Amino acid sequence: MEKLGLPAAVVCTEPFASSARAMATAQGMPDYPFILLPHPIAATEIQTLQKWADNVTDQVVRLLIDQGTT
C-alpha cells in the first residue's frame, strides 16, 4: 500500500514480529514500523480484544499520519 502512496498501519501479534520484520526488509523497508498486540487473537475474549484495540488506537492513527506525510 505504501508503494502505491496509500498510508497503512500494520498490526500483528507478538509471535509474528520476526516475520513482519523479515517481510518489511524483503520489500526494501527494513525500518518499517508496525504495532504488536498480544497473542492469541482467536481465543481471546471480546472485552480483552476491545481493550487491546483501545490501547493501540493512538499508535495506529500516528502511523497513518506519519506514513501519509513521507
SS3 labels along 16-56: HHHHHHHHHHHCCCCCCCEEEECCCCCCCCHHHHHHHHHHH
Confidence of residue 70 (pLDDT cuts 50, 70, 90): low
Going by C-beta distance under 8 Å and a sequence separation of 6 or more, which residues neighbour residue 20? 10, 12, 34
What is the domain range of residue 19?
2-68
Length of the chain: 70
Span 51-69, mean pLDDT?
92
Number of structural domains found in the chain: 1
Confidence of residue 58 (pLDDT cuts 50, 70, 90): very high
- Give the per-residue pLDDT at 51: 97
Query: What is the tens place of the pLDDT at every residue in 1-28?
Result: 877 888 889 999 999 999 999 999 999 9
- Give the per-residue pLDDT at 1: 83
What whole-number distance in Å separates Cα of residue 56 and Cα of residue 25? Answer: 23
Query: How remote is the C-alpha of 67 from its chain's centroid?
Result: 12
